Amino acid sequence: MRKILFFLIVTVFFFEWSMSQSNTKPFTVVLDAGHGGKDPGNMGNGYKEKNIALNIVLEIGKRLENIPGVKVIYTRKTDVFVELKDRANIANKAKADLFVSVHCNSHKSQAEGTETFVLGVAQNKENFEVAKAENSVIFLEDDYQTHYEGFDPNAPETVIGLTLLQEEYTDQSILLADMIQDNFANQYKRVDRGVKQANLLVIRRTFMPSVLVEVGFLTNTGEGRYLDSPSGQADMSNAVYQAIVKYKSVLYEDQSDFSFAINNNSQSEDSSTTKTKSSSEIYSQNIKDKTIIFKIQLFASSKKIVLNRKNFEGLSPVNTEKIGKVNRYLYQETYDYSEALAFLKEAQRAGYKDAFIASYEKNKQIPLTEALKKIEK
């Protein structure tokens, strides 16, 4: 009887949870290794940008593929030439959630360090040099004048008015770019040249948050050697990998292992040692203990938004929580999971399609799977 009851509760939880997941589409990341084939990229100190970028991308992808609910698409997995517009098309066709392009820098000086670009018009001369170098690959493409609408990589002024496509994704692109740069600087003590904006063709054509990462200068003696080494490439891929995972958890939360947790629970229930409670008992126990709080995350952004009804599609109360440079905007709070599901539906109806239930124990966020396990006890 207990077992059946428990099974029923689990089924109800799972059903409610499934219903709350308006989109079960995997989180899709397009990884773009710069250059390839007849285009070696920069050859600072004799190292090949195309090979280093590919090694790093393959390593990032291998690890991302192990995460349930994540789909990885590569613009190239081997040493082949892919046109810039085709790279962007691959991502657009896949309706990807993220586009990450990996490159290595070069300079005539001993310049050193990492920088991550998002698309923007506010580029200075220095950023323009990077854009010029990375965009110049179109000269190797057939008929580039037609494909790039008369774009001239050598003229900074062609930039203006061309960035509308990416504009709505700037905020999220900066979010990821910040996370990547933080990891480079803090975990691996790389010189931090910061998050920058430039008119980069490959990310200008994507319809999703997109960044172009310059993992360092091959032209710098020490950095070139580091980037050409397996350990340097492992460091850089780990930094980017961790940032993508964090970005996903801040914006979408990882609920993909929820059915796993439930299955494991049912198994441990076979030993008949754990006591079982009805669904309403579970709720009321947590409401009494006030151990777990549920809030609805509407979205996360690097922007500071005034907390009034008008800015949140009429939803109130909304609070904010800052994690690093990211502001999370949270609607309501409750000890009652069924109420949380109702709030989530309200948020989704108000237009926040990516909203999700965030759970907290003693003011610390914990995965929803863990929270539900805890209130079942």
Stretch that binds Zn ion, among 99-107, 195-203, 333-341, 343-351 (CB under 5 A): 99-107
Helix or strand (DSSP H, E) at 263? helix 258-269
Residue 34 near Zn ion by CB under 5 A? yes
3-state class (DSSP) for residue 309: helix
Helix or strand (DSSP H, E) at 140? none
Is residue 279 left, alpha or beta, with left meaning phi > 0 and alpha meaning psi from -120 to 50? alpha
Strands 292-301 and 318-323: unpaired
| Positions in 288-347 near Zn ion (CB under 5 A) | none
From candidates 6, 33, 41, 203, binder to Zn ion by CB under 5 A:
41
Cβ at position 138, least distance to Zn ion in Å: 13
Q: Which two tokens stand for residue 331?
A: 């609607």
Nearer to Zn ion, 103 or 295 (CB): 103
Nearer to Zn ion, 52 or 315 (CB): 52
Q: Enumerate the β-bridge partners of residue 320.
A: 329
Nearer to Zn ion, 59 or 97 (CB): 59
DSSP string, 40-72: ----GGG--HHHHHHHHHHHHHHHHTTSTTEEE
Cβ at position 164, least distance to Zn ion in Å: 25
* Length of the chain in terms of residues written: 377
Nearer to Zn ion, 34 or 156 (CB): 34
Stretch that binds Zn ion, among 38-46, 66-74, 142-150, 326-334 (CB under 5 A): 38-46
Stretch that binds Zn ion, among 31-39, 145-153, 167-175, 284-292 (CB under 5 A): 31-39
Helix pair 279-289, 337-349: axis angle to 10 deg: 90
Stretch that binds Zn ion, among 118-126, 130-138, 195-203, 224-232 (CB under 5 A): 130-138
Cβ at position 34, least distance to Zn ion in Å: 4
- C-alpha to C-alpha distance for 218 and 168, rounded to whole angstroms: 33
- b or e along 143-160 (b: 16 or more beta carbons within 10 Å of the residue's beta carbon)? ebeeebeebebeebeebe
Nearer to Zn ion, 41 or 44 (CB): 41
Burial class from Cβ neighbours inside 10 Å (0-12, 13-18, 19+) for residue 277 reads middle
Nearer to Zn ion, 134 or 254 (CB): 134
Cβ at position 108, least distance to Zn ion in Å: 16
Stretch that binds Zn ion, among 98-106, 108-116, 276-284, 329-337 (CB under 5 A): 98-106
Amino acid at residue number 269: E
Residue 36 near Zn ion by CB under 5 A? no
Count, residues near Zn ion per rule CB under 5 A? 4
Residue 103 near Zn ion by CB under 5 A? yes
Nearer to Zn ion, 34 or 232 (CB): 34
> Nearest to residue 92, comparing CAs of 177, 200, 209?
209
Nearer to Zn ion, 201 or 315 (CB): 201
Q: Which residue is nearest to Zn ion (CB)?
A: 103
Cβ at position 124, least distance to Zn ion in Å: 19
Residue 232 near Zn ion by CB under 5 A? no
Nearer to Zn ion, 103 or 196 (CB): 103
Stretch that binds Zn ion, among 97-105, 163-171, 216-224, 364-372 (CB under 5 A): 97-105
Q: How far is the CA of 304 from the CAs of 78, 301, 307, in angstroms?
A: 42, 8, 9
Cβ at position 52, least distance to Zn ion in Å: 10
- C-alpha to C-alpha distance for 300 and 310, rounded to whole angstroms: 17
3-state class (DSSP) for residue 212: strand
Stretch that binds Zn ion, among 17-25, 32-40, 118-126, 170-178 (CB under 5 A): 32-40
Question: Binding residues for Zn ion, per CB under 5 A?
Answer: 34, 41, 103, 134
